[in-house]
Amino acid sequence: MRYSWATLIAQSLRGHRGWKPAWADRPPQPHYDIVVVGGGGHGLATAYYLARNHGVARVAVLEKGWIGGGNVGRNTTIIRSNYLMDGNIPFYEWSMKLWEGLEQDLNYNAMVSQRGILNLYHNDAQRDAAVRRGNAMRFHGVDAELLDRDRVRRMAPFLDFDNARFPIMGGLLQPRGGTVRHDAVAWGYARAASALGVDIIQGCEVVGIERDAAGAAIALETTRGRIGAGRIGLAVAGSTSRVAALAGLKLPIESHVLQAFVSEGLKPAIPGVITYGAGHFYVSQSDKGGLVFGGNLDGYNSYAQRGQMPTVEDVCESGMAMMPMLGRARVLRSWGGIMDMSMDGSPIIDATPVDGLFLNAGWCYGGFKATPASGWCFAHLLATGAAHDLASAYRLDRFATGALINEKGEGAQPNLH
């Protein structure tokens, strides 16, 4: 069923009784050409581009819970391509371009809203870093503008300019950054993939990876039976180390909790996404009016999708320091997701030492914006066996060779990225 004004009008005349399920609920088959483990944004995008770009006929996505129940439905919805390193900028800019055409491509309203992202700076060193980042972006054809304090004040007069401990000096703006409704991304990709014949199998947890005598991965043991696979792609985000361990792999990844928050609905106040430079805090406003915000990781390893109170306090303190009016708003909800933090803060899209087993992981807490390009490049890798040019830097062996992509320069301490 194609979504359009005509369909909407026709359905409304029938009392909305004719809508069909967005994707088919098919039982698992004994064998697929390619099985993607993990029905988050990355797994679903991979399956969609496998069918759409490469014509792979028999593809399945196995999801232990439900579509949208993982980080894809838990993030703060920010998209941007304001990166610094060579390995990252073209990849994230391609993702931005895919976001820009995504709704037409999927025939699904994902509420892509390019209202801009503004990174504040508070001292000369941060200004230098912002100039450097902005120049690197512009060299790659990405939009970037350096705003002085007056322009930031005109754009966001509610920020604390006058009494702040870390006065705002200006900001680096990416006008094409913004937000996308996160669960609509999962649903849109699932619907479009299903329409191309991909089997979306929910409630199907992978509990084992079967290998042949030569050591190649050939099938998955799941809670819904054995499923054979020509190739297997792992896209399980915060569960990466656990699922990879089923094939005997130990990865340079730690799992950490990240929390997010939403306030009661307010009149439109925040023009786009704003990030604080003197602490870790980022905020935007949803279409319902809630302020959606977040900050640091909780700082300890965990597989629990919930956080702890000291981080709630820390995030709210940073928020208050940046925009004191936040103190007048009531927080309605907070929740947590599990982040697959890599050792250099950049992702991995690569083959593994196990034949037939491929890895998409290490998204830290920036993987939502990468969803389209990640699916695009992982599909290419799974279909052809060769890395896509845009993801050629995201190799698993870079932690052995030293070719790291350390965007933040924090070193091998995952909870700092």
69 lies in the binding site for ligand FAD (CB under 6 A): yes
Number of neighbouring beta carbons within 10 Å of residue 1 = 13
77 lies in the binding site for ligand FAD (CB under 6 A): yes
Q: Shortest Cβ distance from residue 135 to ligand FAD (Å)?
A: 23
Minimum CB distance to ligand FAD smaller for 122 or for 417 = 417
Q: Shortest Cβ distance from residue 192 to ligand FAD (Å)?
A: 16
Out of 134, 272, 366, 414, name the contact with ligand FAD by CB under 6 A: 366
Contact 144, 174 (CB under 8 A): yes
Spell out the residues 6+ positions from residue 104 whose beta carbon is closer than 8 angstroms to its own.
Answer: none
39 lies in the binding site for ligand FAD (CB under 6 A): yes
75 lies in the binding site for ligand FAD (CB under 6 A): yes
76 lies in the binding site for ligand FAD (CB under 6 A): yes
Out of 181, 231, 256, 369, name the contact with ligand FAD by CB under 6 A: 369
Minimum CB distance to ligand FAD smaller for 75 or for 126 = 75
Q: Shortest Cβ distance from residue 311 to ligand FAD (Å)?
A: 11
Out of 32, 92, 293, 368, name the contact with ligand FAD by CB under 6 A: 368
Q: Per-residue b/e over 78-98, b at no fewer than 16 CB within 10 Å?
A: bbbbbbbbebbbbbbbbbbeb
Q: What binding mask, one character per residue, do residues 336-355 give for ligand FAD by CB under 6 A, x or -?
A: -x------------------
205 lies in the binding site for ligand FAD (CB under 6 A): yes
Out of 23, 36, 70, 184, name the contact with ligand FAD by CB under 6 A: 70
167 alpha-carbon distance from chain centroid: 31
Minimum CB distance to ligand FAD smaller for 39 or for 356 = 39
Q: What binding mask, one character per residue, do residues 320-339 give for ligand FAD by CB under 6 A, x or -?
A: -----------------x--
99 lies in the binding site for ligand FAD (CB under 6 A): no
Closest CA to 275 of 341, 321, 218: 321
331 alpha-carbon distance from chain centroid: 24
259 forms bridges with which residues in the sheet?
336
Q: How far from 283 is each of 83, 112, 151, 289, CA to CA, in Å?
A: 19, 17, 19, 12
d(CA 346, CA 188) in angstroms, rounded, equals 26
d(CA 68, CA 295) in angstroms, rounded, equals 22
The β-bridge relationship of strands 348-351 and 217-222 is unpaired
Out of 28, 35, 36, 43, name the contact with ligand FAD by CB under 6 A: 43
Q: Which residue is nearest to ligand FAD (CB)?
A: 40
Q: How far apart are the first and last CA of the chain?
A: 43
Out of 236, 341, 343, 383, name the contact with ligand FAD by CB under 6 A: 236
Size of the site for ligand FAD (CB under 6 A): 39
Minimum CB distance to ligand FAD smaller for 51 or for 235 = 235
d(CA 99, CA 175) in angstroms, rounded, equals 14
38 lies in the binding site for ligand FAD (CB under 6 A): yes
396 lies in the binding site for ligand FAD (CB under 6 A): no
217 lies in the binding site for ligand FAD (CB under 6 A): no
Minimum CB distance to ligand FAD smaller for 167 or for 203 = 203
Out of 237, 251, 348, 405, name the contact with ligand FAD by CB under 6 A: 237
Q: Shortest Cβ distance from residue 411 to ligand FAD (Å)?
A: 21
Binding site for ligand FAD (CB under 6 A): 37-43, 62-65, 69-72, 74-78, 205-206, 235-239, 243, 258-260, 294, 337, 363, 365-369
